[in-house]
Amino acid sequence: MTMRTRKLGTTGPQVSALGLGCMGMSGMYGEADRAESIATIHAALEAGVTLLDTGDFYGMGHNELLINEALRTAPAALRENALVSVKFGALRGPDGDWYGFDGRPAAVKNFAAYSLQRLGVDHIDVYRPSRLDPDVPIEETVGAIAELVEKGWVRHIGLSEVGADTIRRAAATAPIADLQIEYALISRGPEREILPTLRELGIAVTAYGVLSRGLISGHVTPDQGFAANDFRAHSPRFQGDNLRHNLTLVESLRKIAEEKGVSVAQIAIAWVLSRGEDIVPLVGARTRQRLGEALGALDVTLEEADLAAIEAAVPADAAAGERYAAEQMAMLDSER
């Protein structure tokens, strides 16, 4: 297959129509297999995926080191095509506890220096604060990244989980390529105000959580248990009655997928792809098998009748439970 591409906004790079989110390869969803993770990154690059997304706090640097190894051991031509997007600013303790976010200019440059070293690269393709630091004006954080751009350490500036007002202020400070935000059939908050603002300003979306952490992948069962170190063990949408309700939505979606001869995951990813050429879904595949399934979404064409059926099966705001626990939701500028 020939990988389609999409552009990250008016100022950003051309990237593959699907990106690979690497967070799950560093233990956020339970134990991951290092060899299989690297093989999955290699398979993604071979399939034409160019966008690799990570965060410096995923496994406290583990994820960046993993990507470093994957790129070092990939064929040179594929390595040269890879673009790495990095989130920074989350503060964590040795036990994984969260201590907030740091968007001070000096911290921005410090985080970048460590990421460059761990990744083994001479520049970061897209650099973004993982969340808004409530104590630091976004202009100062973005201004510090702009200085890194001027010096060649960063190519493009991105944002993550911020609202329309913050997006406007950031874009007035420096060119913004994209906003990374959760966007899926059951996470449609950005449609209200954020997406219109981005389109007005020529800023793209890299959509994470397109399968809602596997919830709408078609692979989760009502009695499925999750390890204590798995994000889903504490996610409201995976708890008790919420999970049972949400899986009824998945079964409704499954009927539509079966009629088209595709999987639930493929139709859910295809739906995000259908939302606009300015949206690049990030798929969090941890294995080559799941990656192959996700790539199949690129071959799924959704007609108007399909989209209407999907909307009827999974209406906006149909999900039970918030996408994060209450204390984490309170950290999201995008939810204010």
Which segments of the chain does DSSP mark as H helices, in order? 34-46, 62-72, 76-81, 105-119, 138-150, 164-173, 194-201, 240-260, 264-274, 288-295, 304-313, 326-329
Q: CA-CA distance, 10 to 13, in Å (whole number)?
A: 9
User: Do residues 149 and 109 make contact, with C-beta atoms less than 8 angstroms apart?
Assistant: no
| Residue 114 appears among annotated catalytic residues | no
Main-chain dihedrals φ then ψ at residue 20, nearest 5 degrees: -105, 115
Those residues whose C-beta lies under 8 Å from the C-beta of residue 96, and which sit 6 or more positions away, are none
User: Do residues 208 and 284 make contact, with C-beta atoms less than 8 angstroms apart?
Assistant: yes
Query: How many other CB atoms are there within 10 angstroms of residue 325's CB atom?
Result: 14
Mapping DSSP to helix (H, G, I), strand (E, B) and coil, where does residue 331 land? coil
Q: Which of 58, 183, 208, 324 is catalytic?
A: 58
Would you please indicate which residues are annotated as catalytic (active-site) residues?
58
